[in-house]
């Protein structure tokens, strides 16, 4: 039985507009290539981790320097230059052809997206804040007030992911990972904060319940004297 490669055929016919475009293989592996319209040779082919190039002359031009330069974009894998389109086709066929689902994989949701959606469903308004590379979310106790909470004048809570795996990290900009902790701090409006709750990355629902309970509990904003 002949295995067709419609995704590869489409990309090589129309080109990839000088950027990488991906092909998911039937066994789950992924490659990406950069090719000009109608070209018989792909300018660059990137094989993601787990996908190995055949030991043939078509795949000898591996560019380690370029992989290092673009490592932040691709992650682990191997980059090959000037690979014949037919060699790419052969590799795809060796892995069972192209996967029926060629939709690009969705990026994992960030902590900000997860938290904002869950709290918004409870009718809770969330505000993003950041400083010195750290990011977090702020929820004011007075949910009727428009705008960012007055953190030095009214009670609030701060929510973020905390990790000290490599170095201390406070963030809502990436997806939760094993070892992370959701952290909720309650501030009283004077600059003092206390820990309200911490939970592992997969137990965010507990934080939502704690924040919801905090919002309905009476709060006293400390008075100030000049």
The reply to whether 195 falls in a domain is yes
Residue at 221 is within a domain: no
Give the CA distances from residue 126 to residues 114, 174, 182, 194, in Å, rounded to whole numbers and listed in that order.
Answer: 12, 17, 16, 19
Gyration radius of the chain over CA positions: 25
Identify whether residues 186 and 138 lie together within a single domain: yes
67 and 149 together in one domain: no
Q: Tell me if 25 sits within 8 A of 95, measured CB to CB.
A: yes
Answer for the pair 181, 169: CB distance below 8 angstroms, yes or no: no
| Pair 118, 90 in one domain | no
Question: Residue 175 is part of which domain span?
Answer: 111-216
Summarize pLDDT for 152-204 with one digit per residue, the tens.
999 999 999 999 988 899 999 999 999 999 999 999 999 899 999 999 999 99
For residue 224, pLDDT over 70 is answered with no
Domain limit, last residue, from 94, 119, 152? 94
Query: What is the reported pLDDT for 1?
Result: 60
Report yes or no on 105 lying in a domain. Answer: no
Tokens representing residue 142 in the block: 């007075």
Q: Which residues are paired to 200 by β-bridges?
A: 181
Model confidence band, residue 129 (pLDDT cutoffs 50, 70, 90): very high
Distance, CA of 26 to CA of 4 (rounded, Å):
12
Cβ neighbours of residue 174 under 8 Å, at least 6 residues apart? 108, 110, 111, 161
Residue 101, in any domain of the structure: no
156 domain-assigned: yes
pLDDT attached to residue 61: 85
Buried b / exposed e across 145-181, counting CB within 10 Å, b at 16+?
eeeebebeebbbbbbbbebeeeeebbbbbbebeeebb
6 burial via Cβ count (<10 Å: 0-12, 13-18, 19+):
exposed
How far apart CA 45 and CA 39 sit, in angstroms, is 13
Tokens standing for 55? 């030991």
pLDDT at 222: 64
Q: State whether 123 and 151 are in the same domain.
A: yes
Domain membership of residue 22 (yes or no) is yes
Residues 129 and 196 in one domain: yes
Q: Are residues 121 and 185 in the same domain?
A: yes
pLDDT-above-90 percentage for the chain: 76
Residues 89 and 125 grouped into a single domain: no
Instruction: Domain count for the chain, please give it.
Output: 2
**Average pLDDT score, the chain:** 90
* Full-model pTM: 0.61
pLDDT tens column, 66-105: 554 454 455 568 899 999 999 999 999 999 999 999 987 6
Single residue among 39, 61, 94 that ends a domain in this structure: 94
Residue 186 domain-assigned (yes or no): yes
Q: How far apart are CA 154 and CA 169, in angstroms?
A: 26
Examine the pLDDT at 226 and tell me if it is beyond 60. no
User: Is 35 found in the same domain as 63?
Assistant: yes
Same domain, 118 and 212: yes
Residue 100 domain-assigned (yes or no): no
């Amino acid at each position: 039985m002949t295995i067709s490669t419609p995704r590869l055929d489409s990309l090589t016919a129309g080109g990839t507009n000088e950027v990488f475009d991906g092909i998911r293989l039937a066994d789950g592996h992924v490659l990406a290539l950069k090719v000009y319209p109608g070209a018989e040779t792909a300018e660059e082919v990137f094989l993601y981790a787990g996908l190995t190039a055949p030991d043939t002359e078509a795949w000898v031009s591996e560019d380690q320097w370029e992989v290092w330069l673009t490592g932040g974009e691709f992650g682990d894998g191997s980059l090959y230059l000037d690979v014949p389109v037919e060699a790419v086709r052969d590799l795809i066929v060796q892995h069972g052809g192209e996967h029926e689902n060629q939709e690009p994989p969705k990026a994992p949701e960030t902590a900000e997206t997860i938290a904002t959606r869950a709290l918004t469903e409870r009718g809770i308004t969330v505000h993003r804040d950041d400083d010195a590379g750290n990011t977090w979310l702020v929820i004011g106790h007075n949910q009727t007030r428009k705008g960012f909470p007055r953190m030095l004048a009214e009670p609030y809570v701060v929510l973020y992911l905390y990790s000290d795996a490599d170095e201390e990290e406070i963030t809502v900009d990436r997806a939760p990972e094993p070892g992370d902790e959701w952290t909720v701090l309650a501030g009283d409006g004077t600059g003092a904060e206390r820990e309200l709750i911490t939970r592992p990355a997969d137990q965010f629902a507990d934080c939502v319940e704690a924040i919801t309970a905090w919002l309905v509990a009476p709060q006293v904003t400390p008075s100030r004297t000049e």
